[in-house]
Amino acid sequence: MLKNRIILLAVGVILIVALFFLPKAVVENDSQLQTGMEESSLRIKAAGPHGSTPVAIRNNINRLRARYLSGLSEEKNAIFADSLVSLYNQAGLFDSAAWFANRAMTFFKTDESLLKTGNAYYEAYTFAINPDKQKALAGKTQELFGTFLEKNPKDLEVKTKIAMTYLISTPMKGIAMLREVLADDPNNELALFNMGMLSIQSGQYDKAPQYLEKLAMVNEKHIQGQLLLGVAYLNLGQKDKARQQFEKVKKMDSDPSVQSTVDSYLQELK
């Protein structure tokens, strides 16, 4: 029960994922572009269970889509594609955001656009539920971030994100990469959090505190890490420490999703 809840609440660096249930549309090539855009528009209108996409965002997407398809120069299309990335992210259509980031990158061809596209595909990967889609998005993320790391080998955040994409295919490779990151930077928040999360997901609850307690020392305001630490204590049978940890999280963040999650754990401690 607890493990399943963590899997639902934590994917990659995201713990509270109401956005898991937002609709997604993917466009993979030019022949699919028009259909993909139309489907995205329908999904935006569908709104998902947590409310509708703001009218302003919906209108801006429709306007920029039309301009993108109007046969403008490659440079202008790249600019419109870059703008659509942000709008699709706001609409929760992460696959489409990644596709347009890739289109913009093919024109700009800069390290900045490469990193932005890699992050866009990583974002889409973390929200993907379908295994085939996860695999495809992970592969594209590895390709883009791999190219970026060849030029920027010291970027530990990118290395950490690549590591997470290997967990669906070759998990030991991903874990080894996370350990390499921590060897270079023992205080790396992203790596500490992910190692703690993975320890819980794999049922190795005794290993989780060593990462999550360190994370709490490095950044005491890391809500996700503080919450996972409480889950680790709970699974280890350390109920008093778990209760104190969950009460601490309740005071740290008033977000309804966080409050509801914490309350559900506290209920189990009664």
Residue 172 sits at the vertex; the CA angle it makes with 170 and 173, to the nearest 5 degrees, is 70
In which band, very low, low, confident or very high, does the pLDDT at 39 lie, cut at 50, 70 and 90? very low
Q: What whole-number distance in Å separates Cα of residue 99 and Cα of residue 24?
A: 12
Same CATH topology for 23-172 and 186-270: the answer is: yes
How many other C-beta atoms are found inside a 10 Å radius of the C-beta of residue 132? 8
Class of domain 186-270: mainly alpha
Q: What is the DSSP string of 192-214?
A: HHHHHHHHHHTT-TTTHHHHHHH
The pLDDT of residue 65 is: 87
53 φ, ψ (degrees, to nearest 5): -65, 135
Tokens of 49: 């269970």
The pLDDT of residue 33 is: 37
User: How much is the average pLDDT of 243-260?
Assistant: 93
User: How much is the average pLDDT of 48-67?
Assistant: 75
How many other C-beta atoms are found inside a 10 Å radius of the C-beta of residue 193? 24
Does the structural domain 23-172 have CATH classification 1.25.40.10? yes
Structural contact between residues 22 and 45, judged by C-beta atoms closer than 8 angstroms:
no
User: How much is the average pLDDT of 201-217?
Assistant: 95
Q: Say what the pTM is.
A: 0.77
Structural contact between residues 159 and 181, judged by C-beta atoms closer than 8 angstroms:
yes
How does pLDDT run across 221-248, given as a tens digit for each residue? 999 999 999 999 999 999 999 999 999 9
Q: What is the DSSP letter of 257?
A: H
Q: At what angle do helices 131-151 and 156-165 cross, to 10 degrees?
A: 150
Q: Which of 192, 184, 177, 202 is nearest to 226 (CA)?
A: 192
Mean pLDDT score of the chain: 83
Q: What whole-number distance in Å separates Cα of residue 167 and Cα of residue 134?
A: 11
The pLDDT of residue 7 is: 35
Burial 54-92 (b: 16+ CB within 10 A, else e): eeebbebbeebbebbeeeeeeeebbbbbbbbbebbbebb
How does pLDDT run across 173-205, given as a tens digit for each residue? 999 999 999 999 999 999 999 999 999 988 999
Hey, where are the domains in the chain? 23-172, 186-270
11 φ, ψ (degrees, to nearest 5): -130, 120
Q: Is pLDDT at 3 greater than 70 in this prediction?
A: no
